[in-house]
Amino acid sequence: MRHLIEINDLSVEEIEELIEVAKDIMQHPENYWDKCKHKKLATLFFEPSTRTRLSFESAMIELGGDVIGFSSASSSSASKGESVSDTIRIVGGYSDIIAMRHPKEGAALVGSIKSEVPIINAGDGGHHHPTQTLTDLLTISCEKNRLDNLTIGLCGDLKFGRTVHSLISAMSRYKNIKFILISPDELRISEYVKKEILDKYNMDYIETKNMEEYMDKLDILYMTRVQQERFFNEEDYLRLKDYYILNESKLEKAKKDLCIMHPLPRVNEISIEVDDDPRACYFKQAKYGKYIRMALILKLLGINYTRRKI
Ligand code: NCD
């Protein structure tokens, strides 16, 4: 039995396979309609979510399976003091696979230890968000046709943003990746990410506060929201929340084939005028999330799928 706690729990070959299956699902959804008949996905969300939870649920429904779960800690027995580990053990008796999100770093790993069914980490605090990264990789593969030779600007809250941490981990395994890490001083990438990933794998990166400085060099600009819920004081959040606002004038020097991504939800960090720019990929990105989650569910349940010849 396999769990997905961090993105590098999957090998590069497995990620490639998931991407190919997701692309095949997009082209031939009818081939997958009953692959998960009589299987149940439980979505246990102790923290708010729109895209991740609903795309998981929609993914399972499109595979012919069923969905159970809760969307807030307050509607579960966590509010009575039940541990994550106990909740997972119980829900494993009612379902075949579990996707869970929790505000505490490491919660999914703890939950997986005693679990009898595969656990998918749908976000653990400021730590990891591997299925967002699978979504991001599918997006990059579809939009740029490659996962190597890329200059990627990561902009915003690089300290608390879990999607950024997982994406950096994933990209450490591809060739010729260069990161431009754009953030205010207070939200710079954590030392542990530098030590355990960027420096460990000798990755090429530059840190800057200036969003426009390297704009002309970027193949991908990955915007992120300042993570209000992980701040200790409101004052700091208010001071930093509008530090970066991407608009058309800031994109003047950007490449014509830049891919602008954002895991969403957006607050103010991308002005709505950018939505009509052909380089804006974030709404497409959210859609890709469903297909890669369909591929992941099939893989973790060990269900055979037909695969397009490549
Ligand atoms: C992200 C998350 O939950 O980390 N959202 C998502 O899953 N698409 C990003 C965020 O909340 O800012």
Number of domains in the chain: 2
**Does residue 1 form part of some domain?**
no
Q: Does any ligand 1 atom lie closer than 6 A to the CB of residue 156?
A: no
Distance (angstroms) between ligand 1 centre and the Cα of 207 equals 23
Predicted confidence pLDDT, tens digits, the chain (310 residues): 999 999 999 999 999 999 999 999 999 999 999 999 999 999 999 999 999 999 999 999 999 999 999 999 998 999 999 999 999 999 999 999 999 999 999 999 999 999 999 999 999 999 999 999 999 999 999 999 999 999 999 999 999 999 999 999 999 999 999 999 999 999 999 999 999 999 999 999 999 999 999 999 999 999 999 999 998 899 999 999 999 999 999 999 999 999 999 999 999 999 999 999 999 999 999 999 999 999 999 999 999 866 555 4
**Does residue 67 form part of some domain?**
yes
Where residue 104 falls (left for φ over 0; alpha for ψ -120 to 50; beta otherwise) is beta
Q: Are residues 105 and 160 in the same domain?
A: no
Nearest residue (CA) to ligand 1, atom 12? 225
Q: What is the CATH number of the domain that holds 50?
A: 3.40.50.1370
Q: Does any ligand 1 atom lie closer than 6 A to the CB of residue 177?
A: no
Q: Are residues 136 and 275 in the same domain?
A: yes
Q: Are residues 135 and 176 in the same domain?
A: yes
d(CA 264, CA 225): 8
Distance (angstroms) between ligand 1 centre and the Cα of 309 equals 33
- Which atom of ligand 1 is least distant from the CA of 286? 8
Active-site amino acid positions: 51-52, 80, 101, 129
- Which atom of ligand 1 is least distant from the CA of 264? 8
Distance, C-alpha 256 to centroid of its chain: 25
Range of the domain at 54: 7-129+289-301
Q: Are residues 104 and 206 in the same domain?
A: no
Q: Are residues 135 and 279 in the same domain?
A: yes
